[in-house]
Structure 1
Amino acid sequence: MYKANLIAAALLIINGSGLADAGSGAGVAENLIAEQLQKMDTAIQITSIEPSAMPGLYEVMLASGGLLYADPGGQFFVQGQLYRADGDKGMVNLTEKRLNARRLALFSAVDAADMIVFKPDGEVKARVTVFTDVDCPYCRKLHQEVPKLNALGIEVDYLAFPRGGERSAAFAKMQSLWCAAPEQRQTGMTKLKNGEAIASLSCESPVLEQFELGKKVGVTGTPALLFPDGQLVPGYVPAARLAAMLGLAPQ
C-alpha cells in the first residue's frame, strides 16, 4: 500500500540529520531502517530518520512529503498518524504537527514576489496559499470566490502547480503568466481561469520550482490550500467554510 504513495525518484537520499555514525546506537538504527527501505524499493527518497516522540519508534521523513514510523531494527513499518494523550488538549496529532512544521520550513524559502497575490481592499485578517492549475475546473471554481474571500479579509496567494508537469499545456500558460509584468499577473490569472488566452511569453520563471515545492509539501492535486499553520487542505473549499477554517466568521 505504501509504495504507491511514497515512490518519488530513482535514488535513496539521506540528508537533514543524515545517517549518524554506525558506532552509535541511533546510527545503527538509522542505517538498518534505511537499508531495509532500500531493499524494498530503491526509489524511496528519505529526507531524515530520527527518534520519534514515542520511545522505541523512529520517524522516517520522506521527500514526497509523507512520514513513516519504524522499529529500530527496520523490520516493522507503520504509515499512519501518531497521537499523544494530553490531559489538557486531549489527543494531539504528532504526525500532523511534524508535517506542518516541515511544510512551513519549505515554504519559508518562497519569495513573496514570486506569488500572485489577491489582497483585500481593507485589513488582511487571514491568508491562504493556493497551489493552482489554471486549467483545473475546481481551481477555476475557487477563483470565482476570490472576491468573496477578499471581502471577508482573506488574502489569496497563488503558487503554480501545473498537474501535468513542464510539458503540459497548463505549464506553458502559467509560464507566460509568471513571465508577465507583476501588475499584469492578477488580470492574466483571471483570464486564464476564465478560459481566455494571454500573450505567450518565455523567461526564467519560478513555475517549475513552485511545482517541485508543491510535491515536496505533499500536493497531489489542485487546488491545494496551505494554511498559515502549515496544514495542507486538498480540494475546493467554499468561501464561507474556508473563512470558518481560518477562524473568521462569514459576514
Structure 2
Amino acid sequence: MKLPRIVTLCLSLAVAPMLFAATPAGKYDELKQQLTDRLGIEINALTDSPIEGLLQAVTSHGILYVSADGTKLMQGTIYDLKNRMNNLTEAAMAQPRLEQLKPFENEMLVYKAKNEKHVVTVFTDITCGYCRKLHQQMQEYNDLGITVRYMAYPRAGVPSKVAEDMESIWCAKDPLKAMDDAKAGKSVPSATCKANIAAQYNLGVSFGINGTPSLILENGTMLPGYMPPEKLNDALSTLN
C-alpha cells in the first residue's frame, strides 16, 4: 500500500516509543549467526518485533523480519493501527541510524548555522535537481538555525563518475567551496585522499535510502526528498 506523501511525512515524523519488550541480551545470538551466514549480509541486531512470533533484524540492508525458527524472511513496514498509524519499522531504525552516523561526523561537509537550533544530515548527490535546489537555499536553512551536514550518496553507485567527482569535492583544499561549485554545475578539479565515499554510500544503502536528497533528523527519523526551509523548520520544531 503506497500512502500519500503527506501521510508518509506525518508517520515518519511521529516520535513513537517501541511498543514491545526489550529482548534479553544473547537470546538470539545463534540464530543471528545462522542468518548472517545464510544471507551474506551484516545483521547488527536480532530482537523480538511488535508482532508475536516474528523477529526483527536490523541489517546492513535495513530492517528485515524473520520467523522465530529462522526459515521465513520478509521485508516491509509495520504500522500500529491503535496508535495513530505510527510507523514502527521507521521507529526501530531511528536510534541505529544515529549510532551509525557518529563515526562519520568528522567526514561530513558541514554548513553550520550561526545560531544553531537543529542539525540535519543530508545524503546528497551533486547531479540531482532537488539536491541542487536544497543547496541553493542553504543560507535560508542556516538563517533558521538549521545546520546542514552532507554525506555522499552518488546515485550511480560506487564506482562511478559521480562518485569520483564527489571524492574530489571531499578532498579539495576547500571542500565547501568545491561543493558550492559542483552544485552550481561547475567542474571540480580532480583530487584524491582518504575520503571514503563508498563507506558513506553503503551507509545510506543500509538506511534504506534509494534517492536523494534524504534527510536524517536529530531523532534518527529519515525524510525522503526535498523540503523547503520553512517546512523543514516546522517539522524539526515538532520534535522538541
Counterpart position of 1:141: 133
Contact 1:50–1:58, Cα closer than 8 Å, also in 2: yes
2:148 is aligned with 1:156: yes
Counterpart position of 2:91: 97
CA distance in 2 between partners of 1:115 and 1:223 (Å): 15
Task: Give CA deviations for 1:56-115 in whole Å, capped at 9, x if unaligned.
Answer: 3321333211332535464574622143856xxx665432221111211211221x3311
Counterpart position of 1:197: 187
Distance verdict in 2 for CA 1:217–1:155, change over 3 Å: same
Which of 100, 103, 106 pairs up with 1:106? 100
2:228 is aligned with 1:219: no
Q: Which SS does the other structure have where 2:147 is aligned? A: strand
Counterpart position of 1:55: 52
Listed as ranges, the matches of 1:1-251 within 5 Å are: 20-21=29-30, 27=31, 34=35, 38=38, 42=39, 46-72=43-69, 74-75=71-72, 77=74, 79-83=76-80, 85=82, 92-110=86-104, 112-121=105-114, 123-181=115-173, 184-247=174-237
CA distance in 2 between partners of 1:180 and 1:188 (Å): 7
Distance verdict in 2 for CA 1:85–1:108, change over 3 Å: farther
Contact 1:17–1:48, Cα closer than 8 Å, also in 2: no
CA distance in 1 between partners of 2:210 and 2:162 (Å): 16
Considering only aligned residues, what root-mean-square deviation do their CA atoms show, in Å? 2.9
CA distance in 2 between partners of 1:59 and 1:186 (Å): 39
Distance verdict in 2 for CA 1:18–1:164, change over 3 Å: farther
Higher relative CO (CA 8 A, sep ≥ 6), structure 1 or 2? 2
Runs of 5+ unmatched residues, structure 1: 1-15, 22-26
Contact 1:176–1:202, Cα closer than 8 Å, also in 2: yes
